[in-house]
Amino acid sequence: MRSILVMNAKGGSGKTTLSINLASYYAIEGYEVALVDYDPQYCALDWLENRPEGRPKITGIEGLQKGARVPRGTEIVILDAPAATHGRQVTELLSRAQTCIIPVIPSAIDLNAAARFIDEITELGRVLNRKVRVASVANRIRENSPGHFEIEEFLESTKLPGGRKLPFVACLRNSINYSHAADRGLGIWEIAPSKVAHDLEMWAPLISWLSSRGSRPA
Ligand SMILES: Nc1ncnc2c1ncn2[C@@H]1O[C@H](COP(=O)(O)OP(=O)(O)O)[C@@H](O)[C@H]1O
Ligand SMILES: [Mg+2]
């Protein structure tokens, strides 16, 4: 089973947005998908509630519930982490995943918070031993404003202990398409292609990294 965790201690960085869109992507591709929501506000599960009948199925799971398990036969599990994850919860969530994606939005506060969070998780044994592969994604980029160079430079230059580079795998733009799709229980793959063509292009490197060997433990 392929397991992908979306985590960043900072709220509002796009964890749920990435999680639901990844779930939608793999469901459309025909995989058995489970979406595990670890946020007590259950935003990802609310999204799922709105999902129209007849759409490729995604099984929602309350991650905080004791004994929560993904159904037998699940091929892809997406784990949507809550905000303010630190310490034991981080270790616990990382232990459930092969891959961890860290979305970062371009603001000074978010960059500082991301730097601290990346420092915290890259010191952990599971990350150091490459039992879980971590990558960053810039989210809510405004292509017309120069602000995005800063985040790209920051993520591009982020190193793991030992000097290896932290893979920086995609830049997603700020787009109303995410909320338009989410309001209807859909991912951006499921709304008018003419509207989302550019967003889908921006997702392509993330999807491609996730299917590469480098995104999972050996
Ligand atoms: N790329 C994006 N473009 C536009 N809005 C976005 C984007 N990513 C996230 N958002 C919006 O930002 C808000 C916070 O995103 P969310 O995914 O809930 O963050 P988190 O789960 O990290 O708290 C939501 O309203 C979401 O629709
Ligand atoms: Mg969330």
Q: Which residues does ligand 1 sit against, CB inside 6 Å? A: 11-17, 43, 83, 139-140, 172, 174-175, 178-179, 182
pLDDT digits (tens, 9 = 90+) for 118-170: 988 988 888 888 899 999 999 999 988 877 888 999 999 998 888 889 999 99
For the chain, what is the HEC assignment? CEEEEECCCCCCCCHHHHHHHHHHHHHHCCCCEEEEECCCCCHHHHHHHCCCCCCCCEEEEECCCCCCCCCCCCCEEEEECCCCCCHHHHHHHHCCCCEEEEEECCCHHHHHHHHHHHHHHHCCHHHHCCCCEEEEEEEEECCCCCHHHHHHHHHHCCECCCCCECCEEEEEECCCHHHHHHHCCCCHHHCCHHHHHHHHHHHHHHHHHHCCHHHCCC
Distance between CA 21 and CA 200 in Å, rounded?
A: 11
Q: For residues 151 and 146, give the distance between their C-alpha atoms in angstroms, rounded to a whole number.
A: 10
Burial classification of residue 207, based on how many CB atoms lie within 10 Å of its CB (0-12 exposed, 13-18 middle, 19 or more buried): middle
In this prediction, residue 186 carries a pLDDT of 98
Per-residue exposure over 70-106, b if at least 16 CB sit within 10 Å of its own CB, e if not? beeebebbbbbbbeebeeeebeebbebbbbbbbbbbb
CB atoms within 5 A of ion ligand 2 belong to: 15-16, 39
Residue pLDDT, tens place only, 5-31: 999 988 999 999 999 999 999 999 999
Pocket probe mutation, ligand 1, options 37, 39, 178, max atoms within 8 Å of Cβ: 178
pLDDT tens-digit series, residues 203-215: 999 999 999 999 9
**Ligand nearest to the CA of residue 8, numbered in listed order:** 1
Q: Is residue 180 predicted with pLDDT exceeding 80?
A: yes
If you measure from the C-alpha of residue 67 to the centroid of ligand 1, how many angstroms do you get, rounded to a whole number?
Answer: 29
pTM: 0.96
CATH of the domain spanning 2-210, picked from 3.40.50.300, 3.30.450.90, 1.10.1740.10, 3.40.1280.10: 3.40.50.300
List pLDDT tens digits, range 23-76. 999 999 999 999 999 999 999 999 999 999 999 999 999 999 988 899 999 999
